Structure 1
Amino acid sequence: MNLKSKLAKLSGCLDQKNKLILFFLIGFMVVGFSKMSSSKTASNEKGFQIDTIIPAGYVLIPIKLLNSDSISAVIGSFGVADIYATVQGEKSKLLFSRAKIIKSSVEEAAFAVLVKETKAHLLSGNDNPFFAAVQNPKAKAVDADSNQNSRPGVRIIYQN
Structure 2
Amino acid sequence: MAHRLRPEGLAFVESAPVRLVFTREMSAPPERVFRALAEDVSGWAQWFPGVTSIRPLDDGAGRDVRLTGGGRFRETVLVAKEAELYAYRVDVTNAPGLRALVEEWRLSPAGAGTRVQWTFGADGNVALRAVLRLAGAGLGRSFRNAVTALDRRLTP
TM-score bracket for this pair, using the shorter chain length: under 0.3
Higher strand content, 1 or 2: 2
Higher helix content, 1 or 2: 1
Task: Choose between structure 1 and 2 for higher RCO, CA contacts under 8 A separated by at least 6 residues.
Answer: 2
Normalised TM-score (structure 2): 0.28
Normalised TM-score (structure 1): 0.27
Select the structure of larger CA radius of gyration.
1
